[in-house]
Structure 1
Amino acid sequence: MSGVPRLLTESNVLDVWESGLAGPSAARSLLLASMAAPSPRSVADLPLSALNSLLLELRRDAFGAALPCTADCPGCGESLDVTVASHELLPAGGGAAAIATATLVSYGRTVTYRALTGRDVRAVDPEAPRARQTLLRRSVLSVDPPDGEVPDEVLEDVARHLAELDPGADSVLTLDCPQCEHHWDAALDLADHLWTDVCGYAHRLLHEVHALARAFGWTEADVLAISPTRRRFYLEASTG
């Protein structure tokens, strides 16, 4: 229904999981963000900070506000378990839906550029040669004077200013290692984090369906129609 965000629930999590299995990470990001968006059709054209806000909203409503993360210290290799609250990752203002533009002067050229969108990321194969440059080039609206392909050094100047244009486009955790006291910033891919949660939940649900189908001859629809509390009782009864 237009204007009403969908939720990630037991009734649709298997469909979402199945739909996202074959696609790349960028496609899964748009799929998941569309679940929390009032207008799913426009999700691909949102700036990345707005997409991240939708992913955080969906993750909080479906799995809670605490995001457990693991990172390896680049100083000593120690593995750290970190839990971050979703509100700590929200961009200021919750992620603007409008696509901001700006202009800079770089190497004698006046460059007008815009914030990157989900459609931009989806259009670029991250494994392709010069994928970074291809993505950055999508953000460039005009160059004056126009003289062919935008040089890499100009694209890197644009890259350095994109974070100012769209705060929250990248989710970063600031970490301190208790072993060697190394201090560093670690990137957090919200879509991959949420997708891991979705996969884990879908697998548990399918195992429950399998166990109850074997024990009682129920169909998948029969099992999913039962509340989680009663389902646990039947699972215990089938193994008792």
Structure 2
Amino acid sequence: MVVAELTEAQLLAVWESGSGQGPQDRALLLARTAVGDTEPVADLTLAGLHALLLGFRERAFGSSLPCATDCPACGEPLEVAVETAELRPPAPAPAPASAPVLGARTEPPTGSFRAAGREVTYRALTLSDLLAVAPGGRDSRRALLQRCVVATTPDAGPLPGHVLEEVARRLPGVDPGAETAVALECPGCGHSWSAELDVPGHLWAEIEGYARRLLYEVHALARAYGWTERDVLAVSPARRRFYLEAAG
């Protein structure tokens, strides 16, 4: 999988395009930016999406992700640096023949189990599923799980909630890497817990922060030297820092 380079001009264009979009559309935008518009990124499973965006993040900003949270036990603020390697499956298994591959439309991996007198066949969630279901609330979760159900035998109508929850429990098994949980421990009270890291959301926050800092640099250097945005972006970050200090 080839992850594209991201120039500062492209980063600003991505930020501008995604500023008015929701989380799912931004995830699609970031995935398309990573590999180009010709690839069917909407067909990626969540693990595939996370792997793509983590690789993209490594090339753009490095492998260490600064994160902040509060201890759920004592409320102590906690700042940690999470390595991208921690968010990938510890031992990737060989990809199933049906796993999605960039450049070709294929079906996501599937699994099956028996419950409520029926054989339930389900598949991994994809980015297309997230785009199709409005986020938030119990109904959206149920709608996503229903989209994962490929077939039931016999077909006797909608599945009860407890069966859909069993589908949810089994999804990580067919798509390792779909969940990006980080093990944390509070240095104050010693409480240990696991927190989910939103890979597309974290990457978007970094792009937005970088874009805003870059625009302030453009603004400052335009006022000091009369440069255009193109002039500023043509100067390396190290040289820009010098000019900003000199104009300071």
- Which of 121, 132, 135 pairs up with 1:126? 135
What are the equivalent positions in structure 2 for 1:70-85 lying under 5 Å apart?
70-85=68-83
Aligned length, in residue pairs: 237
CA distance in 2, matches of 1:35, 1:128: 29
Q: Give the aligned partner of residue 185 of structure 1.
A: 194
Q: Give the aligned partner of residue 86 of structure 1.
A: 84
TM-superposed CA distance for 1:36, in Å, is 2.7
TM-superposed CA distance for 1:125, in Å, is 1.0
Q: Give the aligned partner of residue 146 of structure 2.
A: 137
Runs of 5+ consecutive residues of structure 2 not aligned to the other structure? 101-107
TM-superposed CA distance for 1:17, in Å, is 0.5
Moved over 6 A (4+): none
TM-superposed CA distance for 1:143, in Å, is 1.1
| 1:41 alignment partner, SS class | coil
1:209 aligns with 2:207: no
Quick one: structure 1 residues 40 and 195, their matched pair in 2 at CA, closer, same or farther if it must change by over 3 Å?
Answer: farther
TM-score (norm 1): 0.92
1:232 aligns with 2:241: yes
What are the equivalent positions in structure 2 for 1:8-19 lying under 5 Å apart?
8-19=6-17
Quick one: structure 1 residues 22 and 235, their matched pair in 2 at CA, closer, same or farther if it must change by over 3 Å?
Answer: same
Q: Give the aligned partner of residue 33 of structure 1.
A: 31
| 1:27 alignment partner, SS class | helix
TM-superposed CA distance for 1:149, in Å, is 2.1
What value does the CA root-mean-square deviation take over the aligned residues?
A: 1.9
CA distance in 2, matches of 1:94, 1:10: 36
Residues 52 and 169, structure 1, Cα contact 8 Å, conserved in 2: yes
TM-superposed CA distance for 1:139, in Å, is 0.6
TM-superposed CA distance for 1:29, in Å, is 1.3
Q: Give the aligned partner of residue 219 of structure 1.
A: 228
Q: Give the aligned partner of residue 158 of structure 1.
A: 167
TM-superposed CA distance for 1:198, in Å, is 0.3
| 2:183 alignment partner, SS class | strand
| 2:151 alignment partner, SS class | strand
Amino acid at match of 1:114: R
CA distance in 1, matches of 2:36, 2:219: 34
Residues 42 and 128, structure 2, Cα contact 8 Å, conserved in 1: yes
Q: Give the aligned partner of residue 105 of structure 2.
A: none
| 2:178 alignment partner, SS class | coil
TM-superposed CA distance for 1:74, in Å, is 1.2
CA distance in 1, matches of 2:20, 2:146: 27
TM-superposed CA distance for 1:94, in Å, is 8.6
User: What is the identity percentage for the equivalent residue pairs of Structure 1 and Structure 2?
Assistant: 52
TM-superposed CA distance for 1:132, in Å, is 0.2
Moved more, 156-165 or 146-155: 146-155
CA distance in 1, matches of 2:226, 2:206: 29
Moved more, 70-79 or 163-172: 70-79
Quick one: structure 1 residues 90 and 39, their matched pair in 2 at CA, closer, same or farther if it must change by over 3 Å?
Answer: farther
Residues 4 and 39, structure 1, Cα contact 8 Å, conserved in 2: no
Runs of 5+ consecutive residues of structure 1 not aligned to the other structure? none
What are the equivalent positions in structure 2 for 1:33-112 lying under 5 Å apart?
33-37=31-35, 40-91=38-89, 92-93=91-92, 96=95, 97-98=99-100, 99-112=108-121
TM-superposed CA distance for 1:211, in Å, is 0.9
| 2:40 alignment partner, SS class | helix
